[in-house]
Structures are given as C-alpha cells and as structure tokens.
Amino acid sequence: MDNSKNSSQPLYFKIVLGGAFAVIVFMLFALARSTYRDLFQVGSYIEASTASIEEQKENLASKPSELAYASSSRYREKIAKELLGRKLPGEEVIILTNVEQRFEDFLPQKNQSSKNYELLTAPQKWLRYIFGI
C-alpha cells in the first residue's frame, strides 16, 4: 500500500502534463488546419488563374484585327515615337489624348489650415505637429 502512494505522481504534475498534452494537440490541429487552408488556397488560385487565361485567350481570338495591328510596323513606329522619343529628322510628334485635364490639376494644393496656432491648446498643437491633424 505504501508503495502505491510513492509511485503515484502529485496532482499538479498530472495537471501540468494534461495541459501540455492539450496544448500539443491544439498546435497539431492548428498546423493541420493551416496546411489544409494553404493547399486549398493554392488550388483556388490555380483555378482562378486558369479561368483568367482562358478568358484572355477568348478575347484575343475574338480580336484578330487588334492582333494584326499590334504586330504591324505602324504600331512599332507609334510605340517608338511615344515611349522612346524616336522621331525622323524634321518631324514633330504630337500625342492627342481623350482625357481632359484642367489647369487646376497642375497647381500645388493649398493647405486648408483655417485654425490659427495661437488659438490652439498645447495638446492640439502637439497633435498637429506630430500627426498633421
């Protein structure tokens, strides 16, 4: 009888051991779940990419005139003039756009600080100095 008391572990040791076992089981569960999610996300990414590629192939097949223009020498000349700045001697390149830009878009923006610094409290001054509020 006395032998059985000596061989049994104290209660706190059993609690700690049970808690450690629970933590290990939970970590293994979280690892398995994370791995499964990553694999599922990779599969869904592949499916989405495949669908996108098929859609682009259909768009490309439906527009043979644009493909012919993109492979023509006119298109290469246009790109060379617009992007690389290459032009023939005595030639001027004018690029027309459809986007309207107003003159105000090019002006620097004015600060809209309507409050006077003398009227602000000390914490408000610090907030404005640090965070630009």
The answer on pLDDT for 1 being more than 50 is no
- DSSP-derived 3-state class of residue 78: helix
* Structural domain contains residue 38: yes
> What's the confidence (pLDDT) of residue 21?
96
> Into how many domains does the chain fold?
1
Q: What is the pLDDT of residues 25-41, one digit of tens each?
A: 999 999 988 888 777 77
* Structural domain contains residue 80: yes
DSSP run (H or E) holding 41: helix 11-61
> What's the confidence (pLDDT) of residue 80?
81
Domain span including residue 26: 8-105
Q: What is the pLDDT of residues 76-129, one digit of tens each?
A: 888 887 777 777 777 777 767 666 655 555 555 555 455 576 788 888 888 887
Comparing CA positions, the residue from 102, 103, 99, 127 lying closest to residue 115 is 127
* Structural domain contains residue 36: yes
Q: What is the pLDDT of residues 42-72, one digit of tens each?
A: 777 888 888 889 988 888 777 777 778 888 8
* Structural domain contains residue 28: yes
In angstroms, the CA 95 to CA 82 distance is 8
Q: Report the b/e string of 66-98 with b at 16+ CB within 10 A.
A: eeeeeeeeeeeeeeeeeeeeeeeeeeeeeeeee
